[in-house]
Structure 1
């Protein structure tokens, strides 16, 4: 069993872990990244938000991402399942939004770019290294991990950053996970060719198709490669008593807005399943430990917030860890501020997600008006801007007030959700 010492050990090499590692290396810290998989590897969560660009620039990785040739995303379209109505969010039209476009990415390639960038900055990246134990002590953190050949190794650091994703390694060990009530979901997804997607100025748009109690995503990854996924309640899935792919196929047939686009579709890969959406951890920080990305919590992906929140928390978490090491402390008040700030950022998306499944929200959201620049404020929030101006904030509050009024006293035209 070999032993080594680092400033920081990062569990996980996805967007949160790679961002944390790159940020720490920019600050001059020694970093060990332990990633259980061998990159590149398949992953879901392929649609980015415009404000990812800020972090790409700060990390110095934007030129590498540009060179990868990913699909440009200029907007997001929200459709009713029967195709009767839809609305489009054009990121270039929001007066509070500074970035006009984003990207649709194949995560295998995208995540590999980020991890290799952290490695080029000097992070020691160990792939196929499964963390099995960790121990936080007064003066250091000890981590045990199993490498590909089965050997167990041990490493020590001043701090541990958990970027283990939905594995939620340290929080699960401490029994900290809480699910959002009523939001236990399952997603069934795959990649398809022959899907009829939008063209012209709308080429690259993500399509979100709203069904009565579930929804589809359709994300164009290349000219003839589209990610298509169905998200529904676990209870609903279990009640159907069918295999995941059967549930997916039947939902496609019953959803006109999806069926018509997939009439000539052929599967490249299909039948992938992900469960247990939308949870939070009761603690994001403790002595010598900071949780980032999905290991800080996960929310329903309907508004494509996952990668951006992962990278924001990875960068901000790394900054407070660097400051704590510089101060020679195991815990700082700045770490607690990081936790509060993370919950606020997640909360901004959650207020949309929580209401997305309700009829009164749909009746306002699918019939938008830019009076008082309300649509601009919504655009700003869903583009991922975290530092909201006062003007955008009060307009968002007005929007959600209108949604609440719609529930009791209709002010928008009634619509059917089928």
Structure 2
């Protein structure tokens, strides 16, 4: 079990997890001619959070060659995001087609069970081997290979080897948890309660397909139209506030729907289509994303508040870039290549762009400006580009964003914007 640097391995790369990050990495590597094994613990299709995509997902879909399958699946077209105050007195609609820095004018709202299966089946067709209902139980990194153990549905134990490992295990965060690398954001301990509903009153006409993001005083609600009579609705609330209420998740959810005017009028006749789902303390980062023969991608590289629907786009971007970094490392047989190190730096940069918006959205001085948009110097267009999923920012976008955040900060001390009640 030691010594020979030229030792044969069964696979070039093993990927833990077949969600959007894992399937994107698998397809990218398989298309590059690499021997790829995906180990997925579930049987697809399966339920998952994160149903609203961003326009810049389209670039990756095109490069993977999967857009035609997604387009023909009949998903709801998403042209804009609406941000609404809880008392329903004010809103801000960001139309992706009207942003001067936004290249892609629309996205799709997807039921993740269907969407994720399309991506994983596409990985198979590209040449990756996919084993579902296989639970990874352990791994170790050796000098010249990675050794994984997993258990299949028949409870048989298996051992496989590869030259590199990609952890795309999602919120399970498999390798980082093993190495105790997970770090929660100390001021952002949230809880999400969500499910699918019928008879939710959603926008029609030109605004049909819009996601609604409704700001409450210390929490927010999403409403995502998935089909003609199926809407994903979720409440994101501070974990401490939830605990203080002393109620069960369905009760807290129902109370929030009833006492938020912008939600109540849309939810009056709603009927639940499935069980409630709850995620606790979901915002975190990992200390290390790239180490010898190992990369962490997607939610296994970190997860942030889903307020701006960035999750799938960030996951697929990291899966693609991570796979490209591993392909480059394979060519050089470099356990920790420059490309792998750059991937870590670039992935953290992308997450930081959205984290700045998320942290500020909960702050009063930011919300007062955000809900009174004024496109001087094209600042709203720069926000539009980021919220559409653009993370490779030109100087023209970056300076406008910095001006916007500066004005928001000044608004805390000087009335830059009209004082409105955004609670």
Fold shared by both chains (TM-score > 0.5): yes
Say whether residues 1:383 and 2:417 are aligned partners.
no
Does residue 127 in structure 1 map to residue 127 in structure 2? no
**Among residues 151, 154, 161, which one is paired with 1:156 in the alignment?**
161
Which of 374, 386, 396 lines up with 1:369 in the alignment? 374
Using the size of structure 2 for normalisation, the TM-score is 0.97
Maintained 8 Å contact 2:368/2:418: yes
1:95-118 CA deviation, whole Å, 9 max, x = no partner?
000000000000000000000000
Within the candidate set 326, 330, 355, 1:325 is matched to 330
Work out which of the residue numbers 5, 11, 35 in structure 1 matches 2:10: 5
State the partner residue of 1:304: 309
Query: In structure 1, how many angstroms separate the alpha carbons of the residues matched to 2:230 and 2:392?
Result: 34
Distance in 2, matches of 1:189 and 1:293, equals 21
In the alignment, is residue 415 of structure 1 matched against residue 420 of structure 2? yes
Contact 2:31/2:127 (<8 A) preserved = no
Aligned to 1:15: 20
Distance 1:291 1:123 in 2: 19
> How far is the alpha carbon of 1:302 from its aligned partner?
0.1
Question: Is the contact between residue 10 and residue 162 of structure 1 (CA under 8 Å) also seen in structure 2?
Answer: yes
Deviation at 1:270, TM superposition (A): 3.5
Separation (CA, whole Å) in 2 of partners of 1:328 and 1:335: 12
Contact 2:82–2:92 under 8 Å retained in 1: yes
- The answer to whether 1:209 aligns with 2:214 is yes
In structure 1, the residue corresponding to 2:275 is in which secondary structure? strand
Where in structure 2 are the equivalents of 1:78-157 lying within 5 Å? 78-157=83-162
Mark the runs of 5 or more structure 1 residues left unpaired by the alignment. Answer: none
Aligned partners of 1:245 and 1:270 also within 8 Å: no
- How far off is 1:417 after superposition? 2.8
Residues of 1 paired with 2:371 and 2:282: CA distance? 25
TM-score between the two structures when normalised by the length of structure 1: 0.99
Which segments of structure 1 move beyond 6 Å, counting only runs of 4 or more? none
Q: Is the 8 A contact 2:97 2:106 kept in 1?
A: yes
> Are residues 1:42 and 2:47 paired?
yes
1:222 aligns with 2:239: no
Aligned partners of 2:391, 2:361: CA distance in 1, in Å?
20
Decide which of 290, 300, 303 is 1:285's aligned counterpart: 290
Any unmatched runs of 5+ in structure 2? 1-7
The answer to whether the 8 A contact 1:92-1:101 is kept is: yes
Residue deviations 1:226-269 (CA, integer Å, cap 9, x gap)? 00000001111111111100000011111010010011111101
* SS at structure 2 position matched to 1:111: helix
Q: What is the deviation of 1:4?
A: 7.1
Partner of 1:349: 354
Q: Which segment is superposed worse, 269-278 or 246-255?
A: 269-278
